[in-house]
Amino acid sequence: MAKVAFLGLGVMGYPMAGHLAAAGHEVTVYNRTAAKAEAWAKEHTGTAAATPREAAAGAEFVMACVGNDDDLRSVCLGDTGAFGGMGAGAIFVDHTTVSAKVTRELNTAAADLGLSFVDAPISGGQAGAENGVLSVMCGGDQAAYDKAEPIIEAYARICRRIGESGAGQMTKMCNQIAIAGLVQGLSEALHFADKAGLDGRAVVEVISQGAAGSWQMANRHETMLDDHFEHGFAVDWMRKDLGICLDAAEETGASLPVTALVDQFYKEVQKLGGGRWDTSSLFKRLKAFE
């Protein structure tokens, strides 16, 4: 078993850190709101630390799942940052969805200190984190990945290294691009069924067994029809991710017309007051504009 630090105890990080403790690892946690870290320590076998640096002291692996590029920089760098507490040879594993640019920046900073950095964004939502069945897509040095993979397995259904530093984040962008199009397509299908006077549930029962079937259709169509949009991954976060996608598309020369359009649809959802609704709320947008 390993000595592990976990930084960031949101809806994803809290259960992920719990899986590490349940697997027998020695876990120290840090959260910006200290009360949540203390609550986690009481619930699980582990310790709460006051700063990322204190949490990372002596850890073989430091996991992070925070909000955005700036949040990640703040837990890594500076006087209270985790890098300052990590010993030579320790491995930082970042589960945050951030830009490949900040990933490569921090990978270089880590290497200068004799540390390793693995970008390892996740997919599977709150339920995936709670059930320990996340998809983890990784970038970074092969040797560092090989050491980190057995630790990540505590909360992963699948974990794969895609390439060098930044490859994990670019793969997560592929994931978000695919989801955006799928949710919009499902929303339009349910909207069309309603306008045509069809029973949406009956329609999905049939079409989900054919080429139209998807995870989104299987897991979200009923709650969409019930006007229930409280499934964890918020529109505000999706817009952050799609912004990263579109910025990366500019850099790589990729064409993402559907992604750009759906991003604007999510902007309209925000204007409806739905920034904290989950991503399936694209259906609610269509109903709002009837």
| 101-108: long-range contacts, CB 8 A cutoff, minimum separation 24 | 101/69, 101/166, 102/69, 102/72, 102/73, 103/139, 103/165, 103/166, 103/168, 103/169, 104/165, 104/166, 106/72, 106/73, 106/76, 106/77, 107/140, 107/165, 107/166
Instruction: Give backbone dihedrals phi and psi of 30, rounded to 5 degrees, phi first.
Output: -135, 140
Spatial distance between the Cα atoms of 229 and 241, rounded to a whole number of angstroms: 19
- Positions annotated as catalytic residues are 172
**Does an H or E element contain 110, and which?**
helix 100-112
Provide the pairing of β-strand 91-94 with 61-64: parallel
Instruction: Confirm if 90 and 115 have CB atoms less than 8 A apart.
Output: yes
